[in-house]
Structure formats: structure tokens, C-alpha cells
Structure 1
Amino acid sequence: MNTSPIDMFALGIHLGDDGTVLAGERRMTGDSGGWTVAAFHVETDEDVHADHWEMHPQADEAVCVLSGGARLYLRQENPEREEEAVTLTAGTAFVVPRGRWHRLELDGPSDLMSITLRRGTRLERRLG
């Protein structure tokens, strides 16, 4: 058993389908064999790919703000409708439904945590 703490800003926690919990490389896409818990220190909108929409087809995603603040935008199915915005402050979270396109913009430097099943994650450049 390893008794060293895990640096959550350097590694992700992978929750295996078989009940294992392992620290490993943080990946925004791909299949880690289960759910991923990842923490991020972010400074600018570029750090959260604000110019891209993201979607997780296999699972919901919990987006948690540990410190700072962010706005989470949900893309509407009808492109003529305006994006739906959710304001997140320190200590709050939002559950993005499975298959829903979303993106983030920061209110300033922040610490975020994401919990999702990354299998099949897609990114799409935001137009406009």
C-alpha cells in the first residue's frame, strides 16, 4: 500500500469498473477503464478550452468549483436559441447531463474538479 498523498493537480483518480481506485495520468478524452476524478488549477479561458464545446456521450459530468468562479454554458439543440448559462462559485457544482454539449468561461483564476466517464468524449470548436 502506498502511503504518499496524490497530487490531484498533477494526476487524476480513476475509478475502475471492478472497484479499483488508481492514480494516473489525467486525460480529457479516451477510456481510462472507468470514471475519472480530476482537479485543475486554471488561470484563463484558454485553460478550459472556452472556444470549444465538450460532450460526454457515456455519462453525466459533475463540474465542481473548489475556488474562484466560472460560468458553465449549455448549448441549445436549436442553434437559433441562446446558450443557457449557469454561474458557479466556490463550493458549488453542476451536473451536466449525458450527451449535453457544454463549455466553461472563468471569472478569474480557479480550482475546478471534474467527475465523469471520459469514454467517447468529444470536442467541437465553437463558432462565433
Structure 2
Amino acid sequence: MTAVDLFSSMFRLGPAGDVRTEQRRMSPDLAGWTVVTLHVDSDADAHPESWEQHSDGEEVLCVLSGAVRVYLRKEDDPRDPDGELVARLTPGTAYVVPRGRWHRTTVEEPSDIMVFSRIAGTRMERRTGW
């Protein structure tokens, strides 16, 4: 048995219920579900300059330690640079980002987060004013 380092590895969840461990990478060609654990010290680690959208599935953002805020971009005004505050997440809480919704994350304090997502088809868009 070998323990898996959550911060340098990621899990790939297969359609038949199989789980593979791989070296962590963020690549738009990753098909299927991935589980990634990240340490974020500040907003700079959470790409605050960009909105992100996952067209291939919802995303689950779980906070293991620290505190983050998740924002969804206002649907009626997609160029609003501040977006809409959705949730403040603290240890033991999570938020499900709906499929296809533009979102971003800010870091309130150094945090460990675990993200379940379908990375294929992810789009990034620079926020206004950055």
C-alpha cells in the first residue's frame, strides 16, 4: 500500500467506477472527472483575474482548511467585474458551481481546497479591469 500525496497528485474517476492516480496537471484535454487538492495562500493562487466556466459538468469546491469566497458572474450583466457573491466557504463546507456558469474564487485566508470537476472544455475569460 502506498499513500497518495494529495497536493502533487490528482485522481481520475473512470466511468466504470475505477480510480486512477496521476501527477497533478491542469490541461483542457482531460476527459472525465478529476479530483484535485490545492493549497492557496492568496488570491494570486486562485487566478482572480479570470472567470472560469466548465461546459462539461458541474464543479464541486470543498474547503478543507481556511476560507474562500465563490462568485458567480451575474447572468443579466456578464461584464460586471464584481460578479455576485454566492458563498463564503469555511472548513467542512462546499459549493456546487452549476454547469456552464462563469465563476471565480477569492482567498480570504490560506486554504486547502479539494475540487471535483470535468476539466475538458473549460474556458477562461479575463475579468474587466485586470
TM-score normalised by L of structure 2: 0.90
Q: Of the candidates 32, 35, 44, which is equivalent to residue 33 of structure 2?
A: 35
Partner of residue 84, structure 2: 84
RMSD: 1.5
Distance 1:115 1:94, change over 3 A: same
Separation of aligned partners in 2, 1:15 and 1:107: 30
Separation of aligned partners in 1, 2:93 and 2:60: 10
Separation of aligned partners in 2, 1:117 and 1:17: 12
Q: Secondary structure at the match of 1:32?
A: coil
What's the CA shift string for 1:33-90, capped at 9, x where partnerless? 3200110011111111011111100100000111000110100122276622111111
Alignment of 1:58 onto 2:51: no
Separation of aligned partners in 2, 1:127 and 1:25: 33
Runs (4+) of structure 1 moved beyond 3 Å?
Answer: none
- Residue 117 of structure 2 aligns to which amino acid in structure 1? T
Q: Secondary structure at the match of 2:109?
A: coil
Separation of aligned partners in 2, 1:44 and 1:101: 21
Number of aligned residues: 126
Separation of aligned partners in 2, 1:123 and 1:16: 25
Instruction: Percent identity, please.
Output: 47
Partner of residue 102, structure 1: 103
What's the CA shift string for 1:6-44, capped at 9, x where partnerless? 101111100012332111132334233320011001111
Any gaps of 5 or more consecutive residues in structure 2?
none
Alignment of 1:125 onto 2:121: no
Q: Secondary structure at the match of 1:31?
A: coil
Any gaps of 5 or more consecutive residues in structure 1?
none
Q: Of the candidates 55, 67, 82, which is equivalent to residue 69 of structure 1?
A: 67
Q: Secondary structure at the match of 2:35?
A: strand
Separation of aligned partners in 1, 2:24 and 2:59: 15
Q: Secondary structure at the match of 1:87?
A: strand
Partner of residue 23, structure 1: 21
